Chains A and B, each alone.
Chain A
Amino acid sequence: MTEEKKGAFNWPLASLKDPITLFLLLSSLPVFLFACRDLLEKNGDLPCFAALRLSCAQIMMEGQKPYLDFFEWSQPIVFEFCKIPYYLQTVFGGIVPLRIEVLSKIIILLSLLASMLASLYILIKARRHDAGNDVALVAPPLFASYLFFFFYERLQLGELQFFYFLAAVPFALLAWIGNTGVVLNKFLRLAIGLAAGFCACLDLPFPLGMGLVIAWSVVTGFKSGGLKVLWRPEYLGFILALLAVGGHYLLLPNDVRHAYEHWVLPIKNMSYVTFDDTISGPQSAPDNSIIYYVGGFALMMGMAASARLKVLVPLGLVGLSGFYFNLLERQGFSRDLVLAAGVSITLFITAGYYYANVFFQWLQKIWSGRLRHVPIVALALFSLSTSYALARRADIAYGMGINPHPKEKVLGALDINIAVERGSKWKEPVSILADTPDCAYPLLFDLERPPGGYLLNGRPARLLNHLQEIDGIVGDWREFYEHILANTRTDFENKRAALVFVHGAHMQVFLEKGDLLPTLGENYDRVQDAYFASDNLEPREFLGFYYAIAQYKKRADAR
């Protein structure tokens, strides 16, 4: 074995002698183990859309077609990824019987671990190169950021933006390291590029963040290598992922592709440009201004520190794209800000750590004490205490999700958790028609109530109502509108769902205009109203007014 190969073989062991690596392991490992325990121990805390997509994947595996047999506007590839836990259950179910939720959480944790290890590998390799000094300033806060991110977004684990963040961090590190001449494992680079490419395809605006990272890499590497930068394994992996997603799309049945192009894309675009007019006064949308506060300061610090720490540039670009995603969604849900929050935390802590080092170096010059390790010790203490505080915060929020007790209550109405549990049996389909699926999922997923209607995501109702008012429903819109009405009518006539919930004025108007209320009335009895008890905080966020949800129970067939 040559010396070089020996070195490469022994690098993890050799790295343990490095104080930074030791710090990372000592501080991150226990917290990571705590995170694993916390996540696997608790039940029913998957975020809304993760649970909804898993439910969709399940019914797709039973033969239903997305957009045609049920409506949820996720990208087709997202449903494919959501099938993975079901495949794992099929393969390993005989050996280790685990619920889909647990399997999903294991995947989430493995993704987190993979992202952390990939980042660690890149940083350790980079430390041996010229960028060594910068790495010493980046590595500890970066790992602390992973932990903060985990605990801050504890109730959004499994959201698309969560995976996006995990893929973006090593991808950004590669963009930074790429121009310094550090030699890294090609397969790992390819894998990181693939992960970034797949994550960029998870939602319509998602290519922006990763695209900016690539653009920055090209701009900074242009002088040295021109467009050759794009031949790096990570970018080839990225392109490969895009091709794979494109290929998957082309293999979809024609009718599914038709529905995607003519229904899903237009309605999604319309959602980006149509503001929900029920979002007005305080509490009518979740207040996540804290992320803007942190983000504002983080971007200032990141911009200033990026003169020295170039890695903050690609990270900042990803963060800004995260803020843009939130602007585009125009809702303010926590799930829309996961990426922005993750990057803001990372920038804030990394730049803060850098300036703390600068300050203590300056202090050391005028006061001859041993202050070199003060920032890293302070960061360790800060990491542990803040992780604990954030874990407590997540605990309280989790409790509110399971047993909500908001300040304001709707008199004479049941919380929807209780209404569904009492009014339906295990495996009995339930339909919750609402503008956003937050009051339906993860509830139906946790209680194992399969979808009982076409509109799993009720956003088209509000948008089509709006369209009807301004332009009238014609062309593709008409086709989609009639498809929704026909499916929903059939569901009502066949009494597919044991319970039907109708939430909010938008949905009520939609059913009224579509002449569906009489059909609903013929087959279902209106029973006690329910409501989505919440202070509009995670994990129970909503838009608009705090109104009751009309509950309909399947009418027994005449004998």
Chain B
Amino acid sequence: MLGKIFKRWSLICAGLAVVVLAVQRLVFWFLHPLYCSSDQSVYLQIGELILQGKVPYRDFYDFNPPLIMYLNVVPVTVAKLFHIPDTMGLSLTVEGILFAATAFVGWLMYRYTAYLPTVVFLPVLLAFVYFTGKLDTDMGQREHLFSLFYFPFFILRGIRHFGAKPGRLESIICGLLTGTLLSLKPHFFFLAMCAELGFLAESKNWKSLLAPEIRSTFVVPVLYVVLYFCLPKEAITIFWEQIFPVYQYGVGWAAKTFTHMISGFSYFIEPFSELTFALILAFFLRPLSPWVTPFVFVCLAAMLNYIQGAQAWTYRLLPMALFAELLLALELGIVANLVLNFLLKYWQGFRPLMATLLLGAVGYFSYGRVEHYYSEIGNQLAFDLSAIGYHGKNPRGDMDSTFFSMLENSNLGDKVVHIGTGINPGYPCQIQSCRPPGSRYLYFMTSMIVAAIQQKPELKEKFRSIEKTVIDNLGEDILKNQPVLVYIQDFPVFTELEDFHFSERFLRRYSLLGHVDATAIYKLTGSKYNFHAVPPAKRVEIILPVLMGEKTISEVSKTSRVPEMVLKDWVERGKKAMLNKLTDRSSDLEDELKTEINHLNDTIWAKNQEIGKLTEQVWKLEKQMEKGEGRQPEKK
């Protein structure tokens, strides 16, 4: 009786520990609803476009195969369903997947305890949950999604290899989902294949290769290939004739040397050190658990995948980092199991005691994390999401200056184009500010084309022709869609575009507004206009008759020679400013800071005046001395 109570108590504590660890991270995402990295934000944008009926490659451009684009329809739908920003839709969807994966593995552990001893696998499950809890910029990346789906499949495959007979339905569902994620990148199959070899090395259970989950794993890739060829012919042509060659030869434009990839920063060297340490322990602990070998195989396969990628991108390292931590957790579990079995010989109460201690430790840790999330944003200014049509706030520090420039110079729903070497900062700013793309190119690839030419000079003509095509397409998109803002990176993109007389051909109706994040901002003004020619005080004078209803915009435009579009913008902003200032309120932090900035500016101005006066005095004194010196010889 007491034994049963102990067991049940231990299970409750263990389950609670997993739940608490998983849920604590939600606090972070609720505090940062707009937090998103560049790659994921492009996929979200693509998800939006697909929901509008657009077709990949033909209507928008991206270097990835289409699966990830269609998968991102899910977070976008979630976002629309709950009326939250797309970025939050993604983080909540991924958290949801994590909960589901964790629950499934937890259920497998409960159901097949003989194959998945609780003490051995509880640290593994906690490590799995903890890993996603650490992620921020790589949250929702392809490798992350793959790991989330693959881990339950890996556990299912393990118990199958070692003799269990999991149910047909859950096996098929698990296989289908994993097959979907395996199709994201071809080398994910290599990882899964290595895992199977690892299991076979231990189990020699060749029959398990015909299990339902394996057969269903192949369904999605086959379906994917078939559906791929159902894309419009134009889309397939663009993929093979433009996208594929540029990616094949140009992907090295941001490549790093191998040493940098493994030890350049702490976020590279730490996973590699963890892997090394885990492998060392694995050689010691392999005889104690058949699970060690498959874990080792997955870790090493993931490492080979990362190295083969030849890029120092952290998300590519995620499967290796995750499985290295899971292997370490498994090893910890094996040792803990040994210790606990030894202790249980003396007193059965050690099990609930350990479980309670674990729950306490996880609870304490989670509390610390939540406190940290709040303290992190404590001193930061918050951005009110009402400006983009949502409720809530997000720390301003999460966003780039480009984001604020978009907010200031365009309205919700206005189209924007950002042309730079990388995806950032155009994305995530556009998805964060809810400014849809004004061109099929969500980001630009001239640097990749240059790298491709260097890599494959014999195909120079082909790449030049692609370059010309994409630049013409971009220009035509701008002419057709008339985005309110066009961002062009100062270097090297502006120079590269000017070789094709880009601004002369396509930006005649745009005026240079300023620069942000090393990028020039062009605003749609109808005709060329020099913004710096009219200072703010003069602008007030110009728009005042419109605000008072004495004149129309076109009348003022004629007299002041300011383009109508610019005037319209000034009027709208003027109205907003008045409303903003005439709202009843005391001061807020932002205002206080502005006051302080103004005060400091006044001080600087006063000091400069002082400097001016002193310089004048020095100058006068020098003149006097010169005169004095000039007279001296005369006296002699």
Q: A residues near B, CB below 8 A?
A: 212, 215-216, 219, 275, 279-289, 292-293, 296-297, 299-300, 303-304, 306-307, 313, 316-317, 320-321, 323-324, 327, 330-332
Return chain B residues, CB-CB under 8 Å to A299: 279, 296, 300
8 A Cβ contacts from B244-294 to A: 252, 255-260, 262-265, 269, 272-273, 276, 279-280, 282-284, 286, 292-293
Return chain B residues, CB-CB under 8 Å to A320: 276, 279-280, 283
The yes or no answer to B201 lying at the interface (CB within 8 A) is: yes
Contact A287 B258, CB 8 Å, known A306-B283, A316-B283: yes
Number of A-B contacts (CB under 8 A): 106
Which partner residue on chain B sits nearest A215 by CB separation? Answer: B284
Shortest beta-carbon distance from B278 to chain A in Å = 10
The residue from A219, A280, A281, A327 contacting B272, defined by CB atoms under 8 A apart: A327
Which partner residue on chain A sits nearest B280 by CB separation? Answer: A320
Interface string of B218-257 (1 = CB under 8 A from A): 0000000000000000000000000000000000100111
When the two chains form their complex, are residues A307 and B258 in contact, meaning their CB atoms are under 8 A apart? no
Cα of A293 to Cα of B310 in the assembled complex, Å: 12
When the two chains form their complex, are residues B296 and A303 in contact, meaning their CB atoms are under 8 A apart? yes
Return chain B residues, CB-CB under 8 Å to A279: 257, 259-260, 264
The yes or no answer to B73 lying at the interface (CB within 8 A) is: no
When the two chains form their complex, are residues A300 and B300 in contact, meaning their CB atoms are under 8 A apart? yes
Shortest beta-carbon distance from A407 to chain B in Å = 13
Cα of A140 to Cα of B395 in the assembled complex, Å: 65
Return chain A residues, CB-CB under 8 Å to B307: 289, 292-293, 296
Shortest beta-carbon distance from B76 to chain A in Å = 36
Sample of 11 A–B contacts (CB below 8 Å): A281-B255, A292-B258, A292-B303, A292-B307, A296-B304, A303-B286, A320-B283, A321-B280, A327-B263, A327-B269, A331-B259
Report, nearest first, the 3 A-B pairs whose CB atoms are least far apart. A332-B259, A304-B201, A285-B259
When the two chains form their complex, are residues A216 and B283 in contact, meaning their CB atoms are under 8 A apart? yes
The residue from A275, A281, A286, A317 contacting B280, defined by CB atoms under 8 A apart: A317
Return chain A residues, CB-CB under 8 Å to B437: none
Most buried by A among B252, B283, B296: B283
Cα of A17 to Cα of B260 in the assembled complex, Å: 52
When the two chains form their complex, are residues B260 and A280 in contact, meaning their CB atoms are under 8 A apart? yes
Cα of A215 to Cα of B304 in the assembled complex, Å: 29
When the two chains form their complex, are residues A296 and B303 in contact, meaning their CB atoms are under 8 A apart? yes
Cα of A285 to Cα of B307 in the assembled complex, Å: 15
Return chain A residues, CB-CB under 8 Å to B279: 299, 316, 320
Given A296-B300, A327-B276; 15 other pairs, CB 8 A cutoff: A212-B280, A215-B284, A275-B263, A282-B256, A283-B257, A293-B307, A297-B300, A300-B301, A303-B282, A303-B297, A304-B293, A306-B286, A320-B276, A321-B280, A324-B273
Return chain B residues, CB-CB under 8 Å to A321: 280
The yes or no answer to B198 lying at the interface (CB within 8 A) is: yes
When the two chains form their complex, are residues B258 and A288 in contact, meaning their CB atoms are under 8 A apart? yes
Most buried by B among A282, A292, A297: A292
Contact A304 B198, CB 8 Å, known A299-B300, A327-B269: yes
When the two chains form their complex, are residues B283 and A303 in contact, meaning their CB atoms are under 8 A apart? yes
Return chain A residues, CB-CB under 8 Å to B293: 303-304
The yes or no answer to B194 lying at the interface (CB within 8 A) is: yes
When the two chains form their complex, are residues B263 and A330 in contact, meaning their CB atoms are under 8 A apart? yes
Shortest beta-carbon distance from A87 to chain B in Å = 38
8 A Cβ contacts from B51-72 to A: none
Shortest beta-carbon distance from B176 to chain A in Å = 28
Cα of A283 to Cα of B256 in the assembled complex, Å: 9
Most buried by B among A215, A219, A323: A323
Cα of A7 to Cα of B202 in the assembled complex, Å: 41
Return chain A residues, CB-CB under 8 Å to B300: 296-297, 299-300
Shortest beta-carbon distance from A203 to chain B in Å = 17
8 A Cβ contacts from B289-325 to A: 292-293, 296-297, 300-301, 303-304, 307
Shortest beta-carbon distance from B265 to chain A in Å = 7
The residue from A296, A300, A323 contacting B198, defined by CB atoms under 8 A apart: A300
Which partner residue on chain B sits nearest A313 by CB separation? Answer: B283
When the two chains form their complex, are residues B283 and A275 in contact, meaning their CB atoms are under 8 A apart? no
Return chain B residues, CB-CB under 8 Å to A331: 259
Shortest beta-carbon distance from A208 to chain B in Å = 9
Cα of A275 to Cα of B257 in the assembled complex, Å: 13
Contact A275 B265, CB 8 Å, known A293-B307, A296-B303, A296-B304: yes
Return chain B residues, CB-CB under 8 Å to A281: 255-257
Return chain A residues, CB-CB under 8 Å to B256: 280-282
Return chain B residues, CB-CB under 8 Å to A216: 283-284
Return chain B residues, CB-CB under 8 Å to A323: 276
Shortest beta-carbon distance from A295 to chain B in Å = 9
When the two chains form their complex, are residues B283 and A285 in contact, meaning their CB atoms are under 8 A apart? no
When the two chains form their complex, are residues B264 and A300 in contact, meaning their CB atoms are under 8 A apart? no
Cα of A283 to Cα of B197 in the assembled complex, Å: 35
Shortest beta-carbon distance from A383 to chain B in Å = 26
Cα of A330 to Cα of B263 in the assembled complex, Å: 6
When the two chains form their complex, are residues B257 and A280 in contact, meaning their CB atoms are under 8 A apart? yes
Return chain A residues, CB-CB under 8 Å to B257: 279-285, 287, 332
Shortest beta-carbon distance from B294 to chain A in Å = 10
Which partner residue on chain B sits nearest A298 by CB separation? Answer: B300
Which partner residue on chain A sits nearest B278 by CB separation? Answer: A320
Return chain A residues, CB-CB under 8 Å to B198: 300, 304
Cα of A313 to Cα of B258 in the assembled complex, Å: 28
Which partner residue on chain B sits nearest A208 by CB separation? Answer: B280
Shortest beta-carbon distance from B87 to chain A in Å = 31
When the two chains form their complex, are residues B284 and A219 in contact, meaning their CB atoms are under 8 A apart? yes
Return chain B residues, CB-CB under 8 Å to A317: 280, 283
Shortest beta-carbon distance from A313 to chain B in Å = 5
